[in-house]
Chain A
């Protein structure tokens, strides 16, 4: 064991002093920090309003201003109507026990209509009188008075004639009123302005609420108090008679999530992300609630499962502010985090492939293998020390990636958001530190597998340049090209069997983290992978299958390297 430790220490000494190791490790760090700096720059530029999509003020304030303008215009029309009402009836008209007395108002209106009827009846009498007078004038044209004052007579006659004509129109109105009289109550109930009947009552309630809320809106705008805004929205939802109880419940839930996710100075993209996620969530909830689609067709069990998972995923995503769900981390930030991770892990994988290829071949090429072989240790220990060193280096690189990512998140403003993913039929939420740790842990498995593949070539061909070239070609070029070619077979065969041929090649693109975490349900294919795959047993996208494959591949490479290193002569 002591000798193994010494060999391992020697391997570390050899590795950490290799220029290629130092350069590429620096490159891992630099590439990640570069992405971090770009993210920070983007963030600062965004805050400074450099991008068109960034509003000058909080989107919420903008939203509030829209709300305020809308409500103010409604309010002003209501206020003017209420003023007219008060002018007519006085401020305390139709108030009984502190409440609006609609029945009294309707009675009042009926009474007023009756007054009108009486007035019209009077008018009718007036007309009759005028007509009679006119008849009388015409009959008594030789009247003494007329003889004495013919001009006055003519004027009086004309006046009578005009009055008769005017009241003639009233007759028609009166006839209509009389005809409609039995339905007067109904007509009044549907007449909103004067606040009678059921609609009148609700409009009055709205007016009263708005009247009361206008002060709160001003307060919300002055203090940017989003919680108060949501409370008001909830009251509005609850008091909306057009909504069912379950819809009101869904509406209130939505508002509560919105309250939790809101933060000052959200960009419009972020705000839209929140609201569109909420919109999808609400829609799915309502469809599930109804059990039918918008056309009224019953939902299939698969669709119900899909909606249920989407609701679960979106709820958790929104609740925990996960990226992609409109949380505290925006889509842009998610992109930057992913870029940082893939930059670091990509470069680390290149390093592992190079180091794996150099590990044994370089010893043969330089002749230093003789120093190793002549040492009083069995070859298995030499091989194990080299393998452990490769694993250590891989682990070190992954930890470097992990901590650099945390550093970048902390100092570039990317932040730490909870992560939500759907796996094995349900949605899960994970602490970001653990999430990224598992991410790099899976990255370790993958990168190490690529490293031992290069090690295998290194022990077999014993030539560093050849081992590096072949590893690179197989890991990076051949796999993608072969995969692309075989993907074409899907078109001919209609299945994915042949496209999986890439799985016999180095697992550079096995992409375990995305197999585990990347399965947000966007399509039925993803859904099938999640549901049918259970814990990832789906042959195409299953996490467990891919993990098993990468592990088996790595084990095969280790075995082949071991056999080659232990048993072959060193000529």
Chain B
């Protein structure tokens, strides 16, 4: 898949303060790239720099192979986007907003306008003035404007803001449909990490103006998951269960290997331990043989949010 966005070494200062520190970012055709980071990490600054709102202080931005500095108009012709809020001309109807934007691209037919209006589900209200729209409707209109000219790259900054659950689901369907069927590359930042998890193919995590990691969603969670963690319900004998499990695991350790921690969750009374999944049946047998009743055993998995907290060191709120 070709890169629709390639950012290399992008830097940006506000005065003496470094906001972006040589960040690299790539979005491929047909993929949805999540762009996540805590407040003040530099997500919106990066997006604004990519879209030409801010000048850069170093680095290269290429959109569909066009250098933004050299071929600005060609590069920007390939992009659609919403930055922060979906702001538009509130005194005009949705139709006029779409028509005005269409003019700046040229060669956009009324049929295409009708098509995107239908796609975002605004056909009943498109002739109302935008000032009468709810935030969700503005988001839909913003998306319609962003995709009106069939861009190759869609850049969305917090697009789920103000959307109700249905709206979020519809947006997800539209974006997945756009990226996977028409091959648009999508760069999306959002604080709805659960949504991102359902939506993104890959994610780039940014903190303090630097890209910390960039992986596919499964790679990201697997990276954290490593040796899986299990939770065991041993009824009233968690301490006995801990002894049995620790003994069993230690007996299988090679010389010099450190035994994994086996602990009791004080809140739930459950035993928490890490182990290779293939030795779980043996552990269960050992417990039963030792007279410990096993009520339940469950494998734990990390969410994107947990991955995010783990990677960014926690403490920061998710932007």
Contact = CB atoms under 8 A, between A and B. Distances in A.
A62 B274 CA distance: 124
Contacts of B272: none
B223 interface: no
B73 A378 contact: yes
Interface stretch (A41-49, A105-113, A366-374): A366-374
B52 A373 contact: yes
A546 to B, nearest CB: 39
Nearest to B96: A13
B310 interface: no
A90 interface: no
Interface stretch (A2-10, A225-233, A284-292, A443-451): A2-10
Contacts of A2: 106
Interface string B120-164: 000000000000000000000000010000000000000000000
A370 B87 contact: yes
B83 A10 contact: no
A374 B73 CA distance: 10
B229 to A, nearest CB: 44
Given A17-B91, A370-B53, A376 B77 contact: yes
B53 A569 contact: yes
Interface string A13-25: 1100110000000
Contact of A376 (B76, B96, B145): B76
A369 to B, nearest CB: 8
Contacts of B74: 376
Interface in B89-124: 89-92, 96-97, 100-101, 103-106
A6 B54 contact: no
Given A3-B73, A10-B103, A374 B89 contact: no
Contacts of A367: 84-85, 87-88
Most chain B beta-carbon contacts within 10 A, residue among A3, A371, A567: A371
Contact of A569 (B54, B81, B91): B54
Contacts of B80: 374
Contacts, number: 79
A176 interface: no
A6 B55 CA distance: 25
Interface residues of A, number: 25
Contacts of B246: none
A570 B53 CA distance: 5
A570 B55 CA distance: 9
A571 interface: yes
The secondary-structure label for the interface of chain A is: helix
Interface residues of B, number: 33
A374 B106 contact: no
A376 B102 CA distance: 11
Nearest to B73: A376
A366 B90 contact: yes
A377 B54 contact: no
Contacts of A378: 72-73
B104 A376 contact: yes
A366 B88 CA distance: 7
Contacts of A7: 103-104
A412 B64 CA distance: 66
B48 interface: yes
B103 A374 contact: no
B90 A374 contact: no
A3 B52 contact: no
Most chain B beta-carbon contacts within 10 A, residue among A6, A18, A376, A378: A376
A9 B103 contact: yes
B79 interface: yes
Contact of A374 (B54, B55, B81, B91): B81
19 contacts: A6-B103, A6-B106, A9-B103, A10-B104, A368-B87, A371-B87, A371-B145, A373-B53, A374-B52, A374-B76, A375-B101, A376-B72, A376-B75, A376-B76, A376-B79, A377-B104, A378-B73, A569-B53, A569-B55
Interface of A: 2-3, 6-7, 9-10, 13-14, 17-18, 366-368, 370-371, 373-378, 567, 569-571
Given A13-B96, A375-B76, A376-B105, 4 more contacts: A14-B89, A18-B91, A366-B90, A375-B101
Interface of B: 48, 51-55, 72-77, 79-81, 83-85, 87-92, 96-97, 100-101, 103-106, 145
